[in-house]
Amino acid sequence: MKAVTRLYTSAAPSNSASRKGPSIMRAQLLLRGHLIAAVAVITVAVTAFTTPAAQARASNDPGLIVAARYSAANDGNPQLVAVNPRNGATRVLTSGNQDQVPDLSPDGRTVVFERCLKTLDCNQDGNFNVWTMRADGSRAHPLTTCDGTRCLGAFDPAFSPDGRHIAFDQDLFDAKGVNFNGIFIMNADGTHARRITSNGPNNPPDGQPQFSPDGRQLVFHRELADGSHQLLTVHVDGTGLRELLPGVDGSAPSWSPDGKRIAFTLVRHNTDSTLVDVATVRPNGTDLTMLTKNPAESSSFAPDYAPDGSRVVFSQANSVGCNLVTMRSSGEDRHVLPSEGCLVDASWSTAATHH
């Protein structure tokens, strides 16, 4: 399903989480300037959470995209909007709080996302939690209860293919007050959270988990000490941890509905520039393929596949704007979805016929 693109600081504090909410924007430091300009301002064995790719929708039904919008609206804070994949028409889903990193359920009825309430200081640890709501924006309620004591924040939620579970990452103190970030899986109602990964005490975080279409694996990124990221896969029981592309700076993964490709944000560091593009790779780490090839002044990031796998949506940012763009999964036939503000963290799924 979707792939979010969070940017974290490269230096992790010694006794706390290495990030504080959404105050840092997306897809490497290069994008911070682009986006500011653009907005102008489980008890589980190894059983699958199955919903086969064959259930993907027909291509004549485009589905629905949900994204986070950064604009002058909502007091400048991110809010969630629904986007028509054909013409870019938007409908506001949330306002009043800081809402971001949405993931639309496979049946299109529910959205999970990060929220920091407007009454809280969103730059302080513990004030971001995973929330859920109906796809029309109603009945929002929290699934996690971080408050800065034992839990320093819950982030990056993503549904399993059958919609029964949610993968996410969170920062937890152990009994000695040492922070162990990791990927977790919980039931869709917020119960029975269990740890899948741990990156060690006080290390930079694991993040942006996404389920494979058969529900047996997760792909996610791990932040490194220098601020770069590596893509990894792991079984949903926590075994089989494997680096997907050794030596490649990749983040924001999204698994194709047929399970044959993983799209992600590829960052290449040259002597005098940083290039940010959308690329794909096979789940075994072979056949790395670039779908975009940007100059240094433009960046493509945070891809997500359409429900039938025929197209990919991603964010395109440069010095004059920031929009969602769709293209064929081969990288051809690009279509800009014009919008107000900057739309990021797009999740493309089925559009529910009723709620």
Tens of pLDDT, residue by residue over 248-257, are: 999 999 999 9
Model confidence at 173, pLDDT cuts 50, 70, 90, reads: confident
Please spell the DSSP secondary structure of 182-227, one letter per residue: EEEEEETTS-S-EE-----TTPPPEEEEEE-TTSSEEEEEEE-TTS
Q: What is the mean pLDDT of residues 194-222?
A: 95
Give the separation between CA 195 and CA 151, rounded to whole angstroms: 13
The more confidently predicted of residues 255 and 52 is: 255
Q: Is the pLDDT of residue 126 over 50?
A: yes
Query: Which pLDDT tens digit goes with each residue over 138-160?
Result: 999 999 999 999 999 999 999 99
pLDDT, residue 2, reads: 36
Domain assignments of the chain as residue spans, ordered by start:
30-349
42 pLDDT band, cuts 50/70/90, is: very low
CA distance 152 to 24: 16
Whether residue 81 contacts residue 62, with contact meaning beta carbons closer than 8 Å, is answered with: no
CA distance 318 to 278: 15
Which pLDDT score, from 0 to 100, does residue 18 have? 37
Q: For residue 90, name the pLDDT band (cuts at 50, 70, 90).
A: very high
> What is the reported pLDDT for 191?
98
Q: Which fold has domain 30-349?
A: Neuraminidase (2.120.10)
Using a 10 angstrom Cβ sphere, with 0-12 exposed, 13-18 middle and 19 or more buried, the burial of residue 175 is exposed
Helix (H, G, I), strand (E, B) or coil at 333: coil
Structure-model confidence comparison of residues 325 and 42, the more confident one: 325
pLDDT band, residue 353 (cuts 50/70/90) = low
What is the residue-averaged pLDDT of the chain?
A: 85
pLDDT of 13 > 80? The answer is no
pLDDT of 6 over the 50 cut: no
Q: What is the pTM of this model?
A: 0.86
Q: What is the CA radius of gyration of the chain?
A: 18
> Residue 14: what pLDDT?
34
Instruction: Give the whole-number percent of the chain exceeding pLDDT 70.
Output: 82
State how far the Cα of 209 lies from the Cα of 184, in Å rounded to an integer. 9
Mean of pLDDT values over 104-126: 96
